[in-house]
């Protein structure tokens, strides 16, 4: 009887351990949903230096898919500049500051660079593979229209998507006051 009880206990403990490991793997999975780890991006900036999304870990990061030819994107840029100025140095609990990782779907480098300058996009993280709608970053993030955004936490986990304007500002302010 003790042997059967021991085997049942061992089976329960083993099952619990497997269930926990399965849960941990799910919680750490890479994907595009809230709660998933954001897929890595690594693309050239205007000076052809590769900038990796993962280099921004430790900060709240907005991945912003946009293009110089996208009117709604360009209309949103002044809001992004204002939010970047207001939140870039804010401490969000464990997150130290706010960054924007701008992914352009342009195909003409000079148009892309001109838009960065004309719109005063002062953050340093601008990338593009200059492949228009065939952009690898757009494929990885399943972007079919722009502007599109993903807000990720200091660990690289997606905490919101599709935020613009006041919704983005409310989210940043909420992260600030909740002190995560």
1 or 161, which is more confident: 161
Calculate ∠ Cα 161-103-111, nearest 5°. Answer: 135
Quote the mean pLDDT of the chain. Answer: 88
Claim to verify: residue 21 and residue 58 sit in the same structural domain: no
Q: Per the omega criterion (within 30 degrees of 0), is the bond before 147 cis? A: yes
Q: What is the pTM of this model?
A: 0.84
User: Does residue 126 share a domain with residue 37?
Assistant: yes
Which residues, listed in sequence order, are joined to residue 52 by a DSSP beta bridge?
A: 42
Q: How far, in Å, CA of 20 to CA of 31, rounded?
A: 20
Same domain for 9 and 58, yes or no, is no
Which phi-psi region, left, alpha or beta, contains residue 154 (left: φ > 0; alpha: ψ -120 to 50)?
A: alpha
Q: What CATH number should be reported for the domain holding residue 42?
A: 3.40.30.10
Clarify whether residues 4 and 77 are in a common domain.
no
Predicted confidence (pLDDT) per residue in 134-175, tens digit: 999 999 999 999 999 999 999 999 999 999 999 999 999 999
Burial of residue 88, with CB atoms counted within 10 A of its CB: 0-12 exposed, 13-18 middle, 19 or more buried: middle
36 and 15 both lie in a single domain: no
Residues 20 and 101 in one domain: no
pLDDT of residue 33: 97
Interval 24-41 mean pLDDT: 83
| pLDDT per residue as tens digits for the range 48-85 | 999 999 999 999 999 999 999 999 999 999 999 999 99
| Structural domain range at position 85 | 31-178
62 vs 102: CA distance, rounded Å: 8
Q: Which pLDDT score is estimated for 7? A: 40
Separation of alpha carbons 110 and 108, rounded Å = 6
């Amino acid at each position: 009887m003790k042997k059967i009880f021991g085997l049942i206990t061992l089976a329960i403990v083993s099952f619990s351990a497997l269930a926990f490991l399965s849960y941990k793997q799910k919680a750490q999975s890479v994907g595009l949903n809230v709660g998933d780890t954001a897929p890595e991006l690594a693309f050239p900036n205007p000076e052809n230096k590769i900038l990796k999304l993962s280099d921004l870990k430790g900060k709240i990061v907005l991945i912003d898919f946009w293009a110089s030819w996208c009117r709604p994107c360009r209309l949103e840029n002044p809001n992004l500049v204002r939010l970047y100025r207001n939140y870039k140095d804010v401490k969000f609990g464990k997150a130290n500051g706010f960054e924007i990782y701008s992914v352009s779907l342009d195909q003409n480098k000079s148009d892309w660079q001109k838009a960065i300058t004309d719109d005063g996009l002062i953050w340093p993280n601008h990338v593009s593979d200059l492949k228009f709608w065939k952009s690898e970053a757009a494929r990885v993030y399943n972007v079919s229209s722009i502007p599109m955004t993903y807000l990720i936490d200091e660990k690289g986990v997606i905490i919101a998507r599709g935020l613009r304007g006041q919704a983005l500002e409310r989210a940043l302010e909420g992260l600030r006051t909740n002190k995560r």
